[in-house]
Amino acid sequence: MRITPIDYSIVHSKIKESGIANIGRASIREIKKLIDNIEQDTGQKFIRMEMGIPGLPPAQAGVDGQIEALRNGVAAIYPDIHGIAPLKKEISRFVKLFMNIDVSAEGCIPTVGSMQGGFASFLTLSRIYAKRNTTLFIDPGFPVHKQQHKVLNLPFESFDVYNFRGDKLHDKLKSYLDKGHIHSILYSNPNNPSWICFTEKELKIIGDLANEYDIVIMEDLAYFGMDFRQDFSKPGQPPYQPSVANYTDKYILFISSSKAFSYAGERIGMMVISDVMYQSHFPDLKRFYPNDQFGYTMIFGTLYPLSSGTSHSAQYGLTAILKAANEGKFDFVEEVKEYGEKAHIMKKIFTDNGFNIVYDKDEDQPIADGFYFTYAYPGFTGVELLEEMLYYGISAISLDITGSERHEGIRACTSLIKRTQFTDLEDRLKQFQLDHPTQ
Ligand SMILES: Cc1ncc(COP(=O)(O)O)c(C=O)c1O
- Tell me which of 326, 347, 377 is where a domain ends: 326
- Which atom, in ligand 1's list, is nearest to the CA of 117? 11
Q: How far is the CA of 353 from the centre of ligand 1 (A)?
A: 31
CA nearest to 112, candidates 136, 149, 83: 83
The pLDDT of residue 344: 97
Contact (Cβ atoms closer than 8 angstroms) between residue 87 and residue 105: no
The pLDDT of residue 25: 82
Question: Residue 439 above 80 pLDDT?
Answer: no
Average pLDDT value for the chain: 96
CA distance 247 to 208: 6
Residues 167-186 have pLDDT tens digits of 999 999 999 999 999 999 99
Reported as half-sphere exposure (CB side, CA atoms, 13 A), residue 424 has a value of 15
Residues 357-416 have pLDDT tens digits of 999 999 999 999 999 999 999 999 999 999 999 999 999 999 988 999 999 999 999 999
Select from 111, 121, 142 the residue to mutate for testing ligand 1; criterion: most ligand atoms less than 8 Å from CB. 142
Residues 229-243 have pLDDT tens digits of 999 999 999 999 999
Verify that 157 and 298 share a domain, yes or no.
Answer: yes
Share of the chain above pLDDT 70, in %: 100
pLDDT band (50, 70, 90) for residue 54? confident
Question: Residue 138 above 90 pLDDT?
Answer: yes
For residue 395, give the CATH number of its domain. 3.90.1150.100
In the chain, the amino acid numbered 1 is: M
Q: Tell me whether residue 295 is in a domain.
A: yes
Average pLDDT over residues 149-169: 97
- Which atom, in ligand 1's list, is nearest to the CA of 118? 4
- Tell me which of 277, 299, 326 is where a domain ends: 326
Verify that 147 and 268 share a domain, yes or no.
Answer: yes
Select from 122, 192, 197, 219 the residue to mutate for testing ligand 1; criterion: most ligand atoms less than 8 Å from CB. 192
Q: Tell me whether residue 3 is in a domain.
A: no
Contact (Cβ atoms closer than 8 angstroms) between residue 399 and residue 140: yes
Verify that 213 and 118 share a domain, yes or no.
Answer: yes
Q: Tell me whether residue 1 is in a domain.
A: no
Q: Which residues span the domain enclosing 67?
A: 60-326
Residue minimizing CA distance to atom 14 of ligand 1: 52
Q: Is the dihedral of CA 135, 138, 140, 145 positive or negative?
A: negative
- Tell me which of 302, 326, 350 is where a domain ends: 326
Pocket of ligand 1 (CB under 6 A): 52, 113-115, 142, 188, 192, 220, 222, 256, 258, 264, 269
For residue 319, give the CATH number of its domain. 3.40.640.10
Residue minimizing CA distance to atom 7 of ligand 1: 114
Verify that 24 and 116 share a domain, yes or no.
Answer: no
Contact (Cβ atoms closer than 8 angstroms) between residue 413 and residue 337: no
Number of structural domains, the chain? 2
Q: Tell me whether residue 2 is in a domain.
A: no
CA distance 162 to 138: 10
